[in-house]
Structures are given as structure tokens and as C-alpha cells.
Amino acid sequence: MNLKNAEYSRYKLVQEMMQTPDVIRRFDAKAAKEFVPALKTAGRLFLTGEGSSRIFPAKRAIYDGLKKADALSIATDGATQALEYDLSAYAIFGASNSGKTKEVVRLFQKLREAGHRALFALTAYEDSPLDQLAAVSHILISGKEEAVAATKTVVEQALFYDSLLRALRGEPMADLEDLADKVEEALTAAIDPRLVEWAKNASTIYFAGRNTGVAEELTLKTNEITRKKADFLEGTYAVHGIEEVMDAQEVVVVVHPFESEEQKFRECLIDGVGLEVLAISTRKTSFPTMVIPDAGDYQSYVEIAAGWNLLVEIGIALGINLDKPQRARKVGNIYQGN
């Protein structure tokens, strides 16, 4: 992906992806501190939103919390399903870039009417319906996105939750300048044309990997950007039954593969099904690999940037207008008022 090339730079999607490193550099790592007292009081955190505003930000936070053995209990689900939950003991964050996502607004209305006060919002717009319902909002610096597929705001939402959990631990955020540089490197890295060609010709693109939100978010982006069918295969699900219905016209992209499971993936998917497997990783794997910089605890941000890079290359190769999907909308279900 190269902004100096008009083939790429004419798309709002690419422009916004390439703004992500600057969003990271400008992020205020102290912004979450004012929310810490409410989380300490509740001891439980529920992260909700729809689509991209939830998948990567919330699931990355849960993974990180479990990995660090945080005492804080974190859960996530879509806002409509959450209407069925008793969330009275939780501090709740609702993420919606527009602040108008119907499902999230409806949940906050119900909770507020029930007397729930620990309602917090992540949105780019002050005075939006969500902002008005929240006790306190964090306003995103990334601002408005023109492209249908959310990119830079997804990363900022994840950074906010990241900073929130670190503030609870009393742990500072690491060098965000270094992270921004590595994300930029992943966004602009040249990709082996073979990988693009395999994915371009695939009937379905599967994303496999840890449940950090990365592979699942890239699955959604595959639908929006390349208009191809895609599916998320959590962990090692790819070799636990679904191989029965896979075929050689499909491709599996494994994000940060478990080294101990590579041979099984090869036996089941490459030898057994006959499809291509490629990887996104900090190391050379036994599969054709997009090798990316190692960012330690922040690795998932670099992984998602590399995935965006791959998807843009696929879209360009297919001759798709990256900014104009036929059916997908920027706000999938917009709040119209009572």
C-alpha cells in the first residue's frame, strides 16, 4: 500500500488507514485515568458496540486482561443481546464512532431508565445520542471516517481500552512512537504477489488465530473491502471439523500461528484439502509468510495493519472501488430517535 501511488491514494479507505500511525502518535495515554475510580468500584467491565467498534477493541482488551491476570472481570457482547443481561453490577462502555448506532443507544436508554449510572461512551461526536446518555464520554481524536470500513477509529478505541487497563494496573503505556512506526511499516510493506493472487482467486478467505479480535476483525474487513466471503476460525478450529467442507479454491490466513500447531494445519488443510495457507507473523513460519515487526504487548495493532495492507492489495487486484460497497453502510443501523 503506497499513498504516493494514485492507484491507492485516491481511496478514502487507504487515506484513513495511513492516518492510523498519526492517531497512535497523538493518542493521550492518560486519557483513561478519570474512568478508573468507577471501574475500581464496580470490579466488572462490560464492553459493547457493533461490528468493528466492538470486535477488535473489546476482544483485545479481554485477551490482554487474561494474559496479565487482571482482577477486573471483563465481558463483551453486542448491545441487542446485552438487553437480556443483568448488567447492574458492571461499569459499561459503549463504543460507536458516530454515536448514533441504534443498538448501543437503545441499550443505554434502557440502562439509564433503570437507574444505571456507570455508563460511558467512546465516540467521535459530542452531543450525539450516545454522548447524551453516557455519564462521561471519551471523544476520539481520529474524527470522522469517510470510508465504509472503519480503520483508524478501531485502533484508537482499542488504545483507549488498553490505556484504561494499564491505568488500573498502575502500568504506563510503552513508547507509542515506536508502535506508530511499526504499524506504518506493516501498512506499507511490499507483499509477495503470490499471496495476493491466491487470495484474489479464492472463493472464501478464512482467518484463523487467537481470539484477540484481529482475525475476526479482518474477516469483517474482507467482506467490506474485497467483497469476498470470509469466515473466522478461532484458535485451532480450522483443523477440528470444518476441513470436511473446505475445498482447494479457498485460502486460510493464519495470524500469529501457534508454532506447535503448524504441522497439523499443514496435514489437514494443505495436504488434506489442497488449499493454500499463508501467515502473518513476526517470524518465518512453515507457510508463505508476511513477516511483520515485533511490537511486544502491542503486537495485535501491527497484525491488524498488515491484514489491512493485504486486503487493500486484494481489492486493487480485483479492480474494486474500495470506498463504495454495494450494500454495506457506514452506520449499519442508525438511531432515528424515539
Q: Write out the DSSP string of 257-305.
A: --GGGHHHHIIIIIIII--EEEEEESS--SS-EEE----GGGHHHHHHH
Side-chain half-sphere of 170: how many Cα atoms within 13 Å?
Answer: 2
Cell of 26: 497523538
CATH number 1.20.120.1760 given to 6-173: no
> Residue 28 is inside which H or E element, if any?
none
- Which residues lie closer than 8 Å to 63 by C-beta, 6 or more apart? 210, 211, 212, 213, 300
The DSSP output letter for 243 is G
Domain spans of the chain?
Answer: 6-173, 190-291
What pLDDT, on the 0 to 100 scale, is given for residue 145? Answer: 86
Contact (Cβ atoms closer than 8 angstroms) between residue 207 and residue 232: yes
**Residue entry with cell 507509542:** 176
Cell of 169: 494496573
Q: How far apart are CA 126 and CA 130, in angstroms?
A: 9
Q: How far apart are CA 138 and CA 46, in angstroms?
A: 16
What pLDDT, on the 0 to 100 scale, is given for residue 4? Answer: 83
Assign 151 to helix, strand or coil: coil
**Residue entry with cell 478519570:** 34
Q: What crossing angle do the helices spanning 299-318 and 214-221 adopt, rounded to 10°?
A: 20
Assign 137 to helix, strand or coil: strand
Q: How far apart are CA 157 and CA 84, in angstroms?
A: 25
CA distances to 36, 42, 70, 165 from 170, rounded to whole Å, are 10, 17, 12, 9
Q: How far apart are CA 239 and CA 262, in angstroms?
A: 11
Q: How far apart are CA 316 and CA 310, in angstroms?
A: 10
6-173 and 190-291: identical CATH topology:
yes
What pLDDT, on the 0 to 100 scale, is given for residue 174? Answer: 82
Closest CA to 93 of 128, 126, 119: 119
Cell of 106: 437503545
> Residue 103 is inside which H or E element, if any?
helix 102-113
Stretches where the chain sits below pLDDT 50 are none
- Sheet with 73-76, edge to edge strand ranges: 73-76, 44-49, 91-95, 119-123, 136-139
CA distances to 32, 62, 155, 245 from 67, rounded to whole Å, are 20, 9, 20, 34
What pLDDT, on the 0 to 100 scale, is given for residue 136? Answer: 96
Fold classification of 190-291 (topology level): Rossmann fold (3.40.50)
Give the number of other CB atoms < 10 A from CB of residue 40.
Answer: 12
What pLDDT, on the 0 to 100 scale, is given for residue 329? Answer: 55
Closest CA to 214 of 279, 121, 144, 147: 279
What pLDDT, on the 0 to 100 scale, is given for residue 52? Answer: 94
The pTM of the full predicted model, rounded to 2 decimals, is: 0.95
